[in-house]
């Protein structure tokens, strides 16, 4: 009974880049002049100097009417109101939680921005303040929505909806936020039986699909259910989805439910999930998924 | 690496996965993540290697110096380990932040290499009682993705395999001084016999089971981990057929435990056996990779990839 | 003041370069996965890794409302030099280098954008063969770009020295270890070549003021040459990363 060990050489390293049909856009690099005209508004990634607008990051230009932004290949998460994020509670403070969301300042979840048991429009009492750690404690993962952005750029979150809140059993993956496609919906129940939250901040949450019946039960019952072992087939599917996402990320491909499902379907030719950790297999999956995406675009 | 924060439910998920012998990336409890190896990456060192295990990245450089042997071991050379946790790996290591972890790893390595069956220090002797080689093994941790000890020991063994020590002629002069003559030709050097050098295997106890090659998340779920140092097998590091069967068996050279928890003696024994088995397959894979690389480099001048490709 | 013999009669340097020639620079962005940005740079035989973490919430004691706190650490691997070093960092030399790094990079980073945040920049010299500080600045600039941190312009560093040839002063670009060890002046400049401003200037040994201008302008020329090389590397990196992303102009 020996485990699987593989040591490859640097000369056998796999290049993960997958060619695509997209034409290369025009790139801007820090200090480069974008335009000399003054009638543009400067957005993220730009600054004005000597009567011209210059880029401050390396990336491509995005223009909305007169607003010019430069979007870098990767950066910390820059939140916008309405974004869905997955975050980790760092600290329990007075009437609020500090949450790590991969942005440049810690985000805040106010006590008044969560649903407490017993009605939505309830006043937050002193007792609630003392029970905060019971509700969410350090290390807990939550899904939430960006409610507002403070002037210093830090985010205020809320979980005032049934779909948000503390996350049950599952695994977290971290990718660059720029790989996540902005979509209407970031909660998906994939057909393979895994539910996935693709946070705009690059945190991706994988968990087995929940049976709805349990919402009827009281709180203790739900908590008990949350700690039940996940069955083997769900676990296998989750591992497969996780490795598929890793393969897409290694080739810097955009993530949404379609690209993940394409990669999942292509990965089925590898019967054993752990074989998908192999760099060649990762490239193969990403390549095939890209092919499917290109076909889908053409149709 | 205790810095990682996990929620209760994540821990439960990992724990049940280990119970089920099916971890979150599809590995079983005895599987290693894929590794990548390159030797001879630092030109200022006599030998060097870089090993990447998932996103754990280790760079090892071996430097040689002439020194005086220890009085109690006049016919042996000396070997010293130094670990540096670069802040590149995590901001926690900035300044003196990584020192505690660094010294625990270097002590562990020092102990694992202490036995003469693990690494024969006599091959470093120049002139008995007067002069010997001292090997400085400098280990640089560039990125941490769990399972540092195993990766360090693999990289060290690869760097030693790559190390060349110049031939030196020594003659006793009047007054007890030793006259050393170094050859001018840098290729006039010998390789070390490292086949039996030990490898470390970390066994992370999660719940009631032990896993090898824990990821950073798994490490933070575990209350105790056991590190076993096991001697290597010379046979994997040479193309010649070895007849001496005695040296084949892996022997434990060091056992260490980390973490606040405790284990039952029975679990301990099982874990040690599991470690010896894992060390054997690691050793075999490392030997094959090193020989393959050496074979590749015979034909043409070595192309160094380093961090560039 | 005839300096040491750094130029041959044919006008070539000890390592065979012409006086105005840089050593070969090879670099790559994004070599690690954990940091927000990382880069590797080789300048001749000098090899440097840089990692950037942040911007992230600054520690309360350091936090500043005016702008981002830039925190640098320069360390040298123990096996990086011919003679083994005993300590990778913490000695006076590395602390000075950390401060100089901070000086040069703070000039480039648009610090005012990120109040209460902190950026950690770590430079690790893997192999030192002269000009390790310059290579460190260049690598750190690439790592900052990889992390998507707004910069005014590229920060590039280059060194220059002086030699004599047929009685004429001839400045040398990008000083190697052999030339450093031979003595003579070493002028290190970190600049934002795009704006033409100098962020840091340091000189060791003596130099007649009459020749200061020629040596400085050669070093600045080096910074401009390096900027072109870095810019090309950044564009190659973008092209490779962007093949997969569809550019949506909203």
Residue A32, number of CB atoms within 10 A of its CB: 16
- Could you give the CA distance from residue C117 to residue C67 in angstroms, rounded to a whole number? 7
B166 or B179, greater pLDDT: B166
Closest CA in chain B for residue C82: B44
- Could you give the CA distance from residue C134 to residue C142 in angstroms, rounded to a whole number? 13
Q: Which of C33, C53, C82 sits opposite B55 (nearest CB)?
A: C33
Of A192, A186, A185, nearest to A208 by C-alpha is A192
Please count the structural domains in chain B. Answer: 1
Instruction: For the domain covering C25-242, report its CATH number.
Output: 3.30.230.70
Range of the domain at B285: 8-299
Instruction: Answer yes or no: do C57 and A106 touch at CB < 8 A.
Output: yes
Residue B131 lies in a domain: yes
Tokens in use for B3? 């810095």
pLDDT of residue C1: 42
Q: A230 contacts in B (CB within 8 Å)?
A: 13, 16-17
Q: Which of B164-173, B210-219, C53-62 has the lowest mean pLDDT?
A: B164-173
Q: Using pLDDT thresholds of 50, 70 and 90, give the confidence band for residue C205.
A: confident
Q: Looking at residues B228-242, what average pLDDT do you find?
A: 82
Q: Which of A7, A227, A243 sits opposite B25 (nearest CB)?
A: A243
Q: Which of A46-50, A270-274, B176-180, C75-79 has the lowest mean pLDDT?
A: B176-180
Q: Which of B7, B24, B28 sits opposite A242 (nearest CB)?
A: B24
- Could you give the CA distance from residue C101 to residue B184 in angstroms, rounded to a whole number? 40
Question: Helix (H, G, I), strand (E, B), or coil: what is residue B273?
Answer: helix
Residue extent(s) of CATH 2.40.50.100 domains in chain A: 14-72
Q: How close is the nearest chain B Cα to the Cα of A285, in Å?
A: 16
Helix axes A279-298, A257-267, angle to 10 degrees: 130
Task: Dump pLDDT digits (tens) for A36-84.
Answer: 867 788 889 999 988 889 999 999 988 888 899 999 988 999 999 999 9
Instruction: For the domain covering A14-72, report its CATH number.
Output: 2.40.50.100
For residue C98, is pLDDT > 70? yes
pLDDT of residue A218: 55
Q: Where are the domains of chain C?
A: 25-242
Looking only at the bridges linking them, the beta strands covering A46-49 and A52-55 are: antiparallel
- Could you give the CA distance from residue C78 to residue B220 in angstroms, rounded to a whole number? 30
Task: Dump pLDDT digits (tens) for C83-97.
Answer: 888 888 888 999 999
B190: CATH: 3.30.230.70
pLDDT of residue C250: 32
Only one residue has tokens 């192309």, namely B303
Partner residues linked to C7 by β-bridges: C13
pLDDT of residue B48: 94
pLDDT of residue B2: 46
pLDDT of residue B245: 52
- Could you give the CA distance from residue A87 to residue B215 in angstroms, rounded to a whole number? 21
Q: Write the DSSP string, chain A.
A: ------EEEGGGPPP-----SPPP--EE-TT-EEE--SSSEE-TTEEEETTEEEESSSEEEEEETTEEEEEESS-SB---TT-EEEEEEEEEETTEEEEE-SBSS-EEEEGGGSPPSS-TT----HHHHHTHHHHS-TT-EEEEEEEEE-TTS-EEEE--STTSEE--S-EEEE--GGGBPP-S--EEE-TTSEEEEE-TTSEEEEEEPPPGGGGGS-HHHHHHHHTSPPPHHHHHHHHHHHHHHHHHHHTT--BSHHHHHHHHHHHTTSSSGGGGGSHHHHHHHHHHHHHHHHHHHH-
Q: Looking at residues A93-99, what average pLDDT do you find?
A: 92
User: Given phi > 0 = left and psi -120 to 50 = alpha, else beta, which region is B283?
Assistant: alpha
Which ranges constitute the DSSP H helices of B194-264? 216-221
For residue C2, is pLDDT > 60? no
Q: Looking at residues B129-155, what average pLDDT do you find?
A: 93
pLDDT of residue A220: 58
For residue A125, is pLDDT > 50? yes
Instruction: Answer yes or no: do C247 and A290 touch at CB < 8 A.
Output: no
Q: How close is the nearest chain A Cα to the Cα of C164, in Å?
A: 37
Closest CA in chain B for residue C29: B308
Task: Dump pLDDT digits (tens) for B175-204.
Answer: 777 778 877 777 778 899 898 899 999 999
Q: Report the side by side order of strands in the sheet with B224-230.
A: B209-212, B199-206, B224-230, B252-258
Q: Looking at residues A169-196, what average pLDDT do you find?
A: 91
Residue B27, number of CB atoms within 10 A of its CB: 23
A74-167 homologous superfamily: Nucleic acid-binding proteins (2.40.50.140)
Residue B34 lies in a domain: yes
Q: Looking at residues B292-309, what average pLDDT do you find?
A: 74
Percent over 70 (pLDDT), chain B: 94
> Cis peptide before C196, with omega less than 30 degrees from 0?
no
pLDDT of residue B309: 64
pLDDT of residue A206: 94
- Could you give the CA distance from residue A274 to residue A277 in angstroms, rounded to a whole number? 6
Question: Helix (H, G, I), strand (E, B), or coil: what is residue C99?
Answer: helix
Residue B305 lies in a domain: no
CB of B17 within 8 A of CB of B9? no
Closest CA in chain A for residue C141: A30
Instruction: Answer yes or no: do C243 and A178 touch at CB < 8 A.
Output: no
Tokens in use for A130? 């003392």
Instruction: Answer yes or no: do B42 and C126 touch at CB < 8 A.
Output: yes
Q: How many C-alpha atoms does A218 have within 13 Å on its Cβ side?
A: 2
Residue B139, number of CB atoms within 10 A of its CB: 28
Closest CA in chain B for residue C95: B95
């Amino acid at each position: 009974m020996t485990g699987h060990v593989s040591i490859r050489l640097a000369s056998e390293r796999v290049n993960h880049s997958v060619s695509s049909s997209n034409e290369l856009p025009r790139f801007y690099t820090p200090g480069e002049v974008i335009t000399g005209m003054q009638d543009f508004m400067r957005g993220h990634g730009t600054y004005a100097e000597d009567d011209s607008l210059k880029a401050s990051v390396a990336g491509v230009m995005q223009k909305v009417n007169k607003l010019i932004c430069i979007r870098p290949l990767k950066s910390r998460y820059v939140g916008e109101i309405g974004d869905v994020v997955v975050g980790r509670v760092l600290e329990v403070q007075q009437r609020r939680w500090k949450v790590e969301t991969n942005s440049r300042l810690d985000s805040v979840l106010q006590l008044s921005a969560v649903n407490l048991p017993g009605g939505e429009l309830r006043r937050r009492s002193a007792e609630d303040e003392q029970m905060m750690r019971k509700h969410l404690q350090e290390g807990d993962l939550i899904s939430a929505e960006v409610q507002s952005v403070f002037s210093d750029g830090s985010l205020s979150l809320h979980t005032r909806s049934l779909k948000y809140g503390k996350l049950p059993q599952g695994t977290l993956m971290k990718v660059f936020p720029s790989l996540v496609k902005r979509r209407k919906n970031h909660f998906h129940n994939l057909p393979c039986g895994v539910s996935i939250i693709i946070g705009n901040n690059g945190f991706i949450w994988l968990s087995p699909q929940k049976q709805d019946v349990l919402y009827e039960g009281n709180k203790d019952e739900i908590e008990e259910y949350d700690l039940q072992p996940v069955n083997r087939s769900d676990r296998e599917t989750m591992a497969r989805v996780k490795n598929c996402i890793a393969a897409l990320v290694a080739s810097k491909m955009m993530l949404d439910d379609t690209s993940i499902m394409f990669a999942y379907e292509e990965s089925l030719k590898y019967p054993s999930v752990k074989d998908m950790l192999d760099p060649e297999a990762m490239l193969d999956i990403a390549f095939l998924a890209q092919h499917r995406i290109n076909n889908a675009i053409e149709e | 690496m205790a810095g990682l924060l996990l929620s209760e439910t994540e821990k439960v998920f990992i724990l049940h996965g280990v119970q089920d012998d099916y971890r979150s990336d599809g590995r079983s409890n005895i599987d290693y993540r894929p590794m990548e190896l390159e030797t001879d990456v630092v030109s200022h060192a006599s030998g060097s290697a870089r090993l990447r295990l998932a996103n754990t990245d280790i760079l090892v450089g071996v430097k040689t110096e002439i020194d005086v042997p220890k009085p109690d071991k006049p016919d042996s050379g000396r070997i010293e380990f130094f670990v540096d946790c670069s802040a590149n790996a995590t901001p926690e290591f900035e300044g003196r932040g990584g020192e505690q972890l660094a010294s625990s790893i270097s002590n562990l390595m020092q102990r694992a290499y202490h036995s003469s069956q693990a690494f024969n220090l006599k091959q470093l002797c120049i002139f008995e009682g007067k002069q010997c080689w001292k090997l400085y093994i400098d280990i640089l941790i560039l990125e941490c993705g769990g399972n540092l000890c195993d990766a360090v020991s693999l990289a060290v063994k690869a760097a030693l395999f790559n190390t060349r020590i110049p031939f030196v002629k020594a003659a006793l002069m009047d007054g007890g001084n030793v006259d050393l003559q170094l050859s001018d030709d840098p290729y006039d050097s010998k390789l070390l016999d490292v086949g039996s050098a030990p490898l470390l295997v970390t066994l992370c106890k999660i719940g009631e089971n032990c896993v090898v090659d824990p990821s950073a998340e798994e490490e933070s779920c575990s209350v105790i981990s056991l590190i076993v140092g096991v001697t290597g097998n010379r046979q994997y590091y040479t193309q010649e057929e070895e007849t001496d069967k005695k040296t084949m068996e892996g022997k434990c050279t060091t056992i260490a435990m980390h973490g606040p928890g405790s284990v039952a003696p029975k679990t301990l024994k099982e874990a040690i056996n599991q470690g010896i088995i894992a060390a054997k397959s690691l050793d075999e894979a490392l030997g094959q990779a090193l020989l393959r690389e050496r074979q590749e480099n015979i034909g043409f001048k070595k192309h160094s990839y380093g961090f560039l490709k | 003041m005839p300096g040491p013999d750094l130029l041959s009669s044919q006008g070539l340097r000890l390592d065979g370069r012409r006086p105005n020639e840089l050593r070969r620079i090879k670099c790559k962005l994004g070599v690690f996965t954990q940091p927000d940005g990382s880069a590797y740079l080789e300048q001749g035989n000098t090899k440097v890794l840089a990692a950037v973490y942040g911007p992230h919430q600054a520690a309360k004691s350091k936090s500043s409302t005016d702008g981002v706190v830039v925190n640098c650490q320069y360390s040298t691997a123990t096996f990086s030099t011919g003679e083994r070093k005993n300590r990778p960092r913490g000695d006076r030399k590395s602390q000075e280098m950390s401060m100089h790094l901070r000086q040069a990079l703070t000039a480039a980073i648009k610090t005012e954008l990120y109040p209460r945040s902190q950026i950690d920049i770590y430079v690790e010299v893997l192999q030192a063969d002269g000009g390790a500080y310059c290579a460190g600045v260049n690598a750190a600039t690439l790592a900052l770009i990889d992390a998507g941190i707004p910069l005014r312009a590229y920060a590039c560093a280059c060194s220059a020295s002086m030699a004599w040839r047929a009685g004429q002063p001839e400045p040398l670009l990008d000083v190697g270890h052999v030339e450093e060890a031979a003595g003579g002046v070493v002028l290190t400049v970190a600049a934002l070549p795009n704006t033409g401003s100098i962020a840091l200037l340091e000189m060791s040994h003596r130099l007649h003021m009459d020749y200061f201008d020629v040596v400085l302008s050669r070093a600045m020329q080096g910074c401009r040459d390096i900027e072109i090389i870095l810019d090309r590397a950044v564009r190659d990196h973008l092209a490779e990363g962007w093949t997969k992303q569809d550019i949506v102009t909203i």
